[in-house]
Structure 1
Amino acid sequence: MSRCDSEKLAPQHKSAFFSFIKSLATFKGDLASLTAPPFLLSPQSIIEFSAYWAEQPCLFVAPSKEEDPEKRALLVLKWFLSTLRQQHNNKDENGKKKRMKPLNPFLGELFLGKWVDDCGTTNLVAEQVSHHPPITACNIWNDTHGVRLQGHVAPKAYFSTTVHIDRKGYSVLHLDKYDEDYLITMPKIHIEGIMTGSLCPELSGATYIRSSSGYTAKIDYSSKGWLSGKKNSFVATLFHDDKQNEPLYTAEGQWSGDFCMKKVATGEVVESFNVDSVPRTPLTVTPVEHQHPLESRRAWQNVADAIHRNDIFAVGHEKTKIENEQREMRKIEKVEGREFPRRYFTKAKQDLVAKSLTEGMKRHASMQGEMEGHHGVWMWDEQKYRRVENNRAQGIKSPMRTRFDSGIGGILLDPDLVESV
């Protein structure tokens, strides 16, 4: 029996799937550049994954309502754990198997939306700030409760007995009321069941959530073994930085289902939690026909439609069209000696908040690696955002050049993107 509790490949897809796996095993470099078989492709771009951070806004803003810094840190841990299921599980909320390979975002791709519920309005802006290497930056904020999350992630996929995905980058959660920051790193992913066609992702390694208030959570991930254990398992400890060997709380269970949090000193179960116990608030997105040409669902609409129709020829044709347009745009920029302007984010030399949260930590080497390397640091630019919003409020529309069929190339004349280089 497979360790992955998932559906197997349809018989008609097996030959193409194993040919694809063979190509993975001999490929050198980042697997993102490989084209997956159409039946594995998701109609969703990776940039939309940013939305998983705040699908349950009440959990996202809950730390802002807690006066005790120790309990705030525990609430941040609970919120983070609650975000993992939808992001990494191989089935959706209806129990239907997800397609495993999301679309690779193009440079400048946008995903905008908001959640409106009893917690007020929670806004999301995500932007693909780099294509080589791929880097997605996002900003999520709720002004009612003074909570915001800013970060960027740079995934790199490679093959070693199976597909592995390392994710450099980090996010910082800020609580206005307490002027408090939490630095968050992301777990590694590997795909299990790849040799049987029963695909499911698993998390591995350790990640941290470190607070400026002096508390740190460490989460260790493990998967089901051949003889024992459960899939999607984790054990987390919350401790004060002055006493790292004396955990205050533990959280243990499955990030895809149930877990419980205990107070170590007394053994008391503080809370037993199931990720489905809190309803997800639907994300509101502008109708496709009214979206900016760079917005993900409009840009990939023809590809997504072809995937839904299982039209492998149309999928290839539409994807190639966008990819060729992007290559042409990069050539033009190179000839003209300019760089594609980012709409909402700006590359910075360093992030002083994130840097300060790694300093002095005995285990800081485990987090410092997320701060360095090729991925760079991308910061939310409030001035850029305000300029775009002011133009929208004044009814200023971006003139679009019809250089390319998809309209993506039209951003060359977008006044919102004009800036000094």
Structure 2
Amino acid sequence: MSSAESQVPAHQQSSWSSFVKGLASWSGDLSSLTAPSFILSPTSLTEFPAYWCEHPDEFAAISSGKTPEERAKLVLRWFILTLKCQYATRNEKMGSEKKPLNPILGETFYGSWPDTNGRGKTDLTVEQVSHHPPITAFYINNEKAGVSLEGHSGQKTSFSAPSIIVKQVGHSVLSVKLEDGSVEDYLITLPRLKIDGILYGKPYIELTELSYIVGSNGTCVTIDYKGKGWLSGKAHSYKASLTKDSTSIANLEGQWTGTTKDTKGDLNIDAQIPKEEVTVKPLEEQQIPESRLVWKDVADGIRSGNYDKAGKAKSAIENDQRAKRKDEAAENKKHELKHFNHVDSDEIYAKLIKEVSSTLPTSEDAYKIKREN
């Protein structure tokens, strides 16, 4: 047995070998491929948007910038701090990246971060707006600070030995309400993921290629992600440049899980600062289809190591969903979204994306939070 194989529990080595072989021969998206039980997560993908705001003070502070340049720096700082939360904390907490539960259509997740320093409460609303393909829409809002984040995400996965490649589908728009009542928008595109460590049975995420943050105020951030190569480099490395009307404002270089230096100025970042997890109401106060209640029996089985219980509960949920979709089709009914409206083309995306890349789509659809009249 190699040191790589020793990462896989002895009783799971056969199923893990079969899983890896299946990756190589699988055609199409990998999201429906069944993973060995020890690599399953007890958490649904609907909880993942909470990672955007595990530094709620940084999120709220964006509106405190007095100039476009100051606000763009605060946006960039906040975004870099989200990366560790989104892509590395599960590895640190659970020993490796786990395969999350695929949400049911209409599944919801609600949370908040309390007002602890006078900046105001931050609220999170998430809804699974599509099952085929899987798409999660979310809205994060701090009314007092005047900062909100609206977006949607999905994943298209493929295998390119020895890694799983994840193309993140979707985008986010961060909006800042200014003192004069106007709104400043920042388009945020999503990086591509590479899941390494598959052969070792200890997957972890590395970010690759480019992502962008484009402001309606003429600011632009280009982030170039560089992971550890076979012979050189450090894991989770990146470089980022911030410009305003083509004038350089900041040049960052470092690790999005560690420290970052600004070779242009003073935008130095330490990703090791404590994070604040989202507050969620108790299970006994939740109602179906709230995420943690939907997946309670599955999550309990995974956490206790009772994978037979988890598997049976998961199958029951999936069979129930198939029956509902079949009934809807027979009655010619369409699933209605609870919190979001779908738009075929996001005007903010179409306006700002042309500033950074000719290779990205010129338009994308979006899901907009429903507003109270």
Amino acid in structure 1 at the alignment position of 2:175: H
Query: What is the match of residue 58 of structure 1?
Result: 57
Percent of residue pairs identical: 41
Aligned-partner SS, 1:382: coil
Q: How far did residue 367 of structure 1 move? A: 4.1
Query: What is the match of residue 18 of structure 2?
Result: 19
Q: Does 1:134 align with 2:130?
A: no
Q: Which 10-residue stretch deviates more, 106-115 or 155-164?
A: 155-164
Amino acid in structure 1 at the alignment position of 2:213: I
TM score, norm. by length of structure 2: 0.93
Query: What is the match of residue 282 of structure 1?
Result: 277
CA–CA separation in structure 2 for the residues paired with 1:326 and 1:91? 28
Map of 1:261-276 to 2, 5 A cutoff? 261-263=262-264, 268=265, 270-276=266-272
Q: Does 1:294 align with 2:273?
A: no
1:250-281 deviation line (CA, Å, top 9, x unaligned) = 11111111112232xxxx4x04321122x322
CA–CA separation in structure 2 for the residues paired with 1:102 and 1:96? 12
CA–CA separation in structure 2 for the residues paired with 1:226 and 1:45? 33
CA contact (8 A) 2:166 2:192 kept: yes
CA–CA separation in structure 2 for the residues paired with 1:159 and 1:171? 26
Q: Does 1:226 align with 2:230?
A: yes
Aligned-partner SS, 1:151: strand
Query: What is the match of residue 347 of structure 1?
Result: 342
Shift of the 271–377 alpha-carbon distance from structure 1 to 2, 3 Å rule, reads closer
Query: What is the match of residue 200 of structure 2?
Result: 196
Residue segments in structure 2 that go unaligned for 5+ positions in a row: none
Amino acid in structure 1 at the alignment position of 2:341: T
CA–CA separation in structure 2 for the residues paired with 1:130 and 1:91? 25
Aligned-partner SS, 1:339: coil
CA–CA separation in structure 2 for the residues paired with 1:317 and 1:212? 50
CA–CA separation in structure 1 for the residues paired with 2:296 and 2:202? 28
2:361 is matched with which residue: 355, 359, 368?
368
Amino acid in structure 1 at the alignment position of 2:370: D
Aligned-partner SS, 1:281: coil
Q: How far did residue 198 of structure 1 move? A: 3.2
CA–CA separation in structure 1 for the residues paired with 2:90 and 2:330? 45
Q: Which 10-residue stretch deviates more, 84-93 or 204-213?
A: 84-93
CA–CA separation in structure 1 for the residues paired with 2:63 and 2:205? 32
CA–CA separation in structure 2 for the residues paired with 1:173 and 1:100? 28
Q: How far did residue 340 of structure 1 move? A: 1.0
CA contact (8 A) 2:55 2:275 kept: yes
Amino acid in structure 1 at the alignment position of 2:304: R
Aligned-partner SS, 2:368: strand
Query: What is the match of residue 184 of structure 1?
Result: 188
Map of 1:151-162 to 2, 5 A cutoff? 151-161=151-161, 162=163
Kindly tell me the number of residue pairs found equivalent between the two proteins: 364
What's the RMSD between the two structures over aligned residues?
1.9
CA–CA separation in structure 1 for the residues paired with 2:267 and 2:222? 18
Amino acid in structure 1 at the alignment position of 2:177: D
CA–CA separation in structure 2 for the residues paired with 1:193 and 1:313? 26
CA–CA separation in structure 1 for the residues paired with 2:248 and 2:202? 38
CA contact (8 A) 1:64 1:175 kept: yes
Query: What is the match of residue 105 of structure 2?
Result: 107
Aligned-partner SS, 1:313: helix
Amino acid in structure 2 at the alignment position of 1:165: V
CA–CA separation in structure 2 for the residues paired with 1:198 and 1:75? 34
CA contact (8 A) 2:97 2:202 kept: no
CA–CA separation in structure 2 for the residues paired with 1:30 and 1:368? 21
Amino acid in structure 1 at the alignment position of 2:368: M
CA contact (8 A) 2:341 2:368 kept: yes
Query: What is the match of residue 369 of structure 2?
Result: 380
CA–CA separation in structure 1 for the residues paired with 2:217 and 2:56? 23
Q: How far did residue 30 of structure 1 move? A: 1.0
Query: What is the match of residue 125 of structure 2?
Result: 125
Residue segments in structure 1 that go unaligned for 5+ positions in a row: 387-421
Q: Does 1:324 align with 2:319?
A: yes
Q: How far did residue 99 of structure 1 move? A: 4.8
Query: What is the match of residue 150 of structure 2?
Result: 150
